[in-house]
Homo-oligomer: A and B are copies of this chain.
């Protein structure tokens, strides 16, 4: 048959699926918002007047999955703005797939109660939403994922996202986005990068709409369908703390000192080692001690990974760390550094931690210091619930970096508020004991018996090393033996291990 330019085109050649040409703008390939000249004379089609208009434009309807990133943390306005607008339209039965939920998201509680949202997929869950889930009021079990596991699930299609709503600190008029410029700058967009690449439709919500094209691009225009300008996407005070302070609590300093010493003697403390530090107290304080040890021995690190904080930036600026890989910027100094320093690199959650790739960067971390709500005599760690089962935390990258790193240290006090946190069995297993190498407390240090190399290396460290069971007994001596784990009711949540299997469940409480 003849095509639109009059050429004879065969329609049947074995092995080829042949469609004759119909004109330069007649055939719209899938996921194509704009085909060319007919549209490109102005970029304004992507910029819509309101979130309502964007909801219409993407065809959002009952039962779909919408996603959000949590880089704006406790300052985020985007989720509430979007879900309020969806609710006003009468759309119901949605799944919210969030990279995490902060306390600020309690603002969407009315929409959980009203059935606008009936399912949640997240890393963290706490506050009123946590109570709602624990009370068995969400119609579907909540799915708890690690940062790497979520990236794996999104990229593999296991967690399909219909519409990603992306809070964009800087966005040009054709959808190029970054997180470092603007009044609500949050730094890295590591979680959002995965959603933008994989969602069926992407809507950028920005309070900083800029002329085309952006110089610095973290999420490209090719992935962004529509843009909505709002007054503000977030409260800077809630997005980042000014700068995280190192503890002056002597117990916490002792734990941090032990953790730093464990690294020093582990065998991994050598030139060009790599380090991950979280934003928790022990990690931050340990950074100070590690820094002193590095300076004393003249050792520098090839790279740091995180969750990046100001103290890590300081180490880079002082020449102690060569490169920083940043999936999430925790404070204003980290945000500023990511903006300015070419040795401070943004990475996606997939690059950070997904086990579904050819190898995330956690596989190359030598030493990481993590916290936990409780650990048990099998070295299992709980970072999601309290010992009573209350939802109050997030796996985050904990299981990912524990599995990837050469030396995973969990640092925590032996006892918190007269409750033992070294137990016979944790309430919720989030990070399996095989991946936790050393547990550091203020009263003693336990080494995983699987790690004979570490037992050998740390024997002259001067650390108060003991068996994990002895630590547990010591804790129980102080607090008394805790009662049995509450049985709980029906299943209200699933705790996914990073590889997609289910490592534990969350049951109805009370």
Residues of chain A whose beta carbon lies under 8 Å from any beta carbon of chain B: 3-5, 7-10, 13, 15-37, 39-41, 43, 46, 140-141, 143, 152, 156, 158, 174-175, 202, 211-213, 215, 217, 220-225, 272, 302-303, 323, 325, 342-343, 345, 350-351, 354-364, 378, 380, 399, 403-406, 429, 432-435, 491, 494, 497, 499-505
Q: Flag if A20 contacts B501 (CB, 8 Å).
A: yes
Q: Flag if B156 contacts A37 (CB, 8 Å).
A: no
3 closest A-B pairs by beta carbon, nearest first, are A222-B357, A40-B363, A36-B403
The minimal Cβ–Cβ distance linking A398 to chain B, given in whole angstroms, is: 12
- Given A31-B357, A32-B356, A434-B24, the answer on whether A502 and B403 have CB atoms closer than 8 Å is no
The minimal Cβ–Cβ distance linking A206 to chain B, given in whole angstroms, is: 15
Q: Flag if A7 contacts B303 (CB, 8 Å).
A: no
Q: Flag if B505 contacts A358 (CB, 8 Å).
A: no
- Given A24-B434, A27-B500, the answer on whether A7 and B215 have CB atoms closer than 8 Å is no
Q: Flag if A5 contacts B355 (CB, 8 Å).
A: no
Q: Flag if B222 contacts A37 (CB, 8 Å).
A: no
Residues of B within 8 Å of A303, CB to CB, are: 213
Q: Flag if A222 contacts B350 (CB, 8 Å).
A: yes
Residues of B within 8 Å of A323, CB to CB, are: 213, 215
Q: A39-B359, A215-B343 are in contact. List 7 more A-B contacts (CB 8 A).
A: A18-B502, A23-B432, A29-B356, A32-B359, A34-B359, A175-B358, A225-B358
- Of A36, A211, A432, A499, the most chain B CB neighbours within 10 A belong to A36
Q: Flag if A29 contacts B355 (CB, 8 Å).
A: yes
12 contacts between A and B (CB under 8 A): A5-B433, A5-B503, A7-B504, A7-B505, A13-B494, A21-B502, A28-B499, A29-B152, A34-B363, A213-B302, A213-B325, A222-B359
Residues of B within 8 Å of A364, CB to CB, are: 40, 43, 174, 212-213
Residues of B within 8 Å of A35, CB to CB, are: 355, 403, 499
- A46–B302 Cα distance when bound, in Å, is 20
Q: Flag if B406 contacts A41 (CB, 8 Å).
A: yes
- Given A40-B363, A358-B34, the answer on whether A3 and B221 have CB atoms closer than 8 Å is no
Q: Flag if B213 contacts A361 (CB, 8 Å).
A: yes
This protein's copies in its complex: 2
Q: Flag if B404 contacts A37 (CB, 8 Å).
A: yes
Residue from B33, B202, B358 within 8 A of A33 (CB atoms): B358
Q: Flag if A497 contacts B24 (CB, 8 Å).
A: yes
Q: Flag if B36 contacts A501 (CB, 8 Å).
A: no
Residues of B within 8 Å of A221, CB to CB, are: 351, 357-359, 361
- Given A141-B13, A358-B202, the answer on whether A5 and B36 have CB atoms closer than 8 Å is no
Residues of B within 8 Å of A357, CB to CB, are: 31-33, 221-223
- A359–B225 Cα distance when bound, in Å, is 8
- A27–B15 Cα distance when bound, in Å, is 36
Residue from B8, B141, B503 within 8 A of A505 (CB atoms): B8
- Given A39-B363, A40-B364, A501-B3, the answer on whether A432 and B21 have CB atoms closer than 8 Å is yes
- A40–B400 Cα distance when bound, in Å, is 13
Residues of B within 8 Å of A5, CB to CB, are: 378, 380, 429, 432-433, 503-504
Residues of B within 8 Å of A491, CB to CB, are: 10, 13
Q: Which residue of B lies closest to A496 (CB)?
A: B21
- A323–B21 Cα distance when bound, in Å, is 35
- A3–B433 Cα distance when bound, in Å, is 14
- A361–B43 Cα distance when bound, in Å, is 11
Q: Flag if B37 contacts A403 (CB, 8 Å).
A: yes
- Of A435, A499, A505, the most chain B CB neighbours within 10 A belong to A499
The minimal Cβ–Cβ distance linking A143 to chain B, given in whole angstroms, is: 8
Q: Flag if B27 contacts A499 (CB, 8 Å).
A: yes
- A491–B10 Cα distance when bound, in Å, is 9
Q: Flag if A499 contacts B141 (CB, 8 Å).
A: no
